[in-house]
Amino acid sequence: MQAQQRLIKHYNEKYKIEAEEKTEDFLVAKKYPHTRIEASLKYFPQFFKGGSILELGAGSGTLARSFMAAKMDFSSYTISDFSSVRVEGMKKSLTDPRLNVVQINCEDIQVNELPKYDAVIMMALIEHLVDPLGAMQRVRELLKPGGFVYIDTPNMALFHRRLKLLRGIFPSTASKNEGLTTYDNKPVDLYDEGHLHYFTYGALTKMLLGRCGFTSVKKLGYFSSRLLGENFDDKLAVNWPELFSELTLIAYA
């Protein structure tokens, strides 16, 4: 089976229930976010000043529903995913006329066939791409002048992953048992649940600025576990995201 077909089969089987059942979940912003969606709800509206949004790899559409529940102002919102079953599921749950749900493969973006956007959102996506360098070059072309891409991906240099590496253990980012067991104790279908690339703040910043045409990067931070209390943990993540946060940043065109 070709690699692309293998990936399509994996994601369509993993999320097939979403095409059958309407999903209506949403989250609200928190002062001290602990998940990527909570962090997006806190940070994205601080930088987005209205206009058009493209969300790549939107999954079940939870972030879009959360933005809608928070009454965030935008002119249009294009929501997309690689998986056809996830797209079908989102079409059932996202019915606002300002929303456009489409299937887009981030590895094969046809820049000339899409409009320009004020913001692109990529949450839990870049680590799944076969060619993240080429994909980010194309994403840069989709942005209007002054637009930005919001990226969230696992931080390979997060403090507890550094400790695992010191012990000689691979710090898998989407599974247990060094990439071989899912969190519900089943054998993985794809190694580390399909995570193909691992980044640090420095590595991703260097790629975006040096090879993809972005002009500046703003590092953001949130503490994804519990250590010394929410207030103190949040300060660690905000002030030293390279060590205490999953990798969250904004890159400007």
Mean pLDDT of 111-138: 96
Tens digits of residue pLDDT in 159-192: 999 999 999 999 999 999 999 999 999 999 999 9
Mean pLDDT, all residues of the chain: 94
pLDDT per residue as tens digits for the range 84-103: 999 999 998 898 888 999 99
Q: What domain range is 202 assigned to?
A: 3-252
* Chain segment 48-89, per-residue pLDDT in tens: 999 999 999 999 999 999 999 999 999 999 999 999 999 999
- Higher-confidence position of 207 and 96: 207
pLDDT category at 24 given cuts 50, 70, 90 is confident
What pLDDT shows up at residue 1?
53
Domain with 217 in it: what CATH number?
Answer: 3.40.50.150
Residue 18 has pLDDT above 80, yes or no: no
> What's the structural domain count of the chain?
1
Q: Map tokens 């590895």 to a residue.
A: 107
